[in-house]
Chain A
């Protein structure tokens, strides 16, 4: 479980997060939404200990991120928005091997983890290819593979499809579904309400404060709350509402 208790964080004079508290269980699918500069990315970086809370605490599986940041980074993987700015090597294999190498694992174990992770995201046919030859969607799959190779219990994806084309979005959504199936807790930051609809729970931030923490169906039926956050319910939800069906996954 990731547990945030009264977490606050400021960039200089600007308060990015204001006493945020919530929890995420193993295997949950959580969506974090909110307008720009509402603190979503800051929150993500606190959960995997790239940032330390100024006030309050973040506990990952019982371990305080202030005491053991590396545990948090190992347990909570992070995939960023820009597919171009996450690669560290020229070749696919070396990029995925980077994480396990940092963990000091023996060569045999690294080889095993890299092949497994590439297979799980569907890049196993491209192990020897140069990273610059991959499409945007494939580069995001590579980033997900790199995270998987560290065997995390949770993965945060910060607007992973924002810069991708149609096929790329589909690739990443399939990979995220795969993560869920394997029991990894998925936390997805998004502006896309259709993506948020797929989550089990939505957390909404506004100017650094937590303004909603509820299942999508409840959020999208609360007109007042949606107006305050500045969002509109996704098309799929509205369609399901009008036809009387229960929206679980969009059937395409």
Chain B
């Protein structure tokens, strides 16, 4: 399946999942399941990608439950109430977020990053040409940079961690974490400045 078709399908499913009322949600959920099957996305990989996202999905749903609910109060803690409606809302949020996340992951694991970014860039092309903007190019560049940065970030983290370990840092402590995260952030921002300079030197941002 071509990348443009996949992205279009993803966009449509997203609109349906977010927009449709509860009784009709089964339609986009089934669509997502079919989508994943058609793309032949590896279920194992999808689940592995889901794991790090789960805490966020749970947290967001939980926040909604705590801050938005109404109806019968089941439990109370400080100023937060857990209500029946709240729990329903949480479940609904999760029900919408999960298939959305899985569909998006299926697209990223079955499409090469170059193809993906080129498709996004092309999608913005008419708009950019009319408005003289460079949204498409900027998004493509940002994606490319983010992906290039990932291996570098983990290497940098490992190095700094080793350096602090060599000076006796104990890792469970807050001071231990600060000793790694503070210099990591400085080092990464310095790298980012260097890369930005290199990009400018290669005419990034040239007005056509």
Question: Do A and B share a direct contact in the complex (Cβ within 8 angstroms)?
Answer: yes
Question: Which A residues have a C-beta under 8 Å from some C-beta of B?
Answer: 48, 50, 70, 73-74, 77-78, 80, 82, 84-91, 94, 98-99, 101-104, 131-132, 143, 146-147, 150
Interface presence of B203 (CB below 8 A): yes
Q: For residue B184, give the distance in angstroms from its CB to the closest CB of chain A.
A: 15
B148 near A89 with CB under 8 A, answer: yes
Separation of A179 and B174 alpha carbons in the complex (Å): 52
Separation of A80 and B195 alpha carbons in the complex (Å): 10
Chain B contacts of A98 at CB under 8 A?
A: 199, 202, 204
Task: Determine the interface band of chain B, counting residues with CB < 8 A from chain A.
Answer: 20 to 34
Separation of A90 and B114 alpha carbons in the complex (Å): 10
Chain B contacts of A146 at CB under 8 A?
A: 202
Contact A89 to B201, CB < 8 A, known contacts A70-B206, A80-B194, A104-B206: no
8 A-B contacts, Cβ less than 8 Å apart?
A48-B201, A78-B201, A80-B194, A85-B198, A90-B144, A98-B199, A98-B202, A101-B137
Which of chain B's residues has its CB closest to A131's CB? B148
Q: Please list the 9 inter-chain residue pairs (A to B) with the smallest Cβ-Cβ separation, ordered nearest first.
A: A85-B194, A99-B202, A78-B201, A102-B203, A86-B198, A132-B151, A90-B148, A89-B144, A73-B203
Separation of A99 and B201 alpha carbons in the complex (Å): 9
Chain A contacts of B194 at CB under 8 A?
A: 80, 82, 85-86
Separation of A51 and B207 alpha carbons in the complex (Å): 18
Select which of A88, A103, A143, A147 is within 8 A of B148 by beta carbon: A88
Q: For residue B114, give the distance in angstroms from its CB to the closest CB of chain A.
A: 6
Chain A contacts of B206 at CB under 8 A?
A: 70, 102-104
B147 near A90 with CB under 8 A, answer: yes
B114 near A94 with CB under 8 A, answer: yes
Chain A contacts of B113 at CB under 8 A?
A: 90
Separation of A123 and B198 alpha carbons in the complex (Å): 20
Chain A contacts of B145 at CB under 8 A?
A: 88-89
Q: For residue B150, give the distance in angstroms from its CB to the closest CB of chain A.
A: 8
Select which of A131, A132, A150 is within 8 A of B202 by beta carbon: A150
Separation of A94 and B204 alpha carbons in the complex (Å): 14
Q: For residue A127, give the distance in angstroms from its CB to the closest CB of chain B.
A: 12
B203 near A70 with CB under 8 A, answer: yes
A86 near B147 with CB under 8 A, answer: no
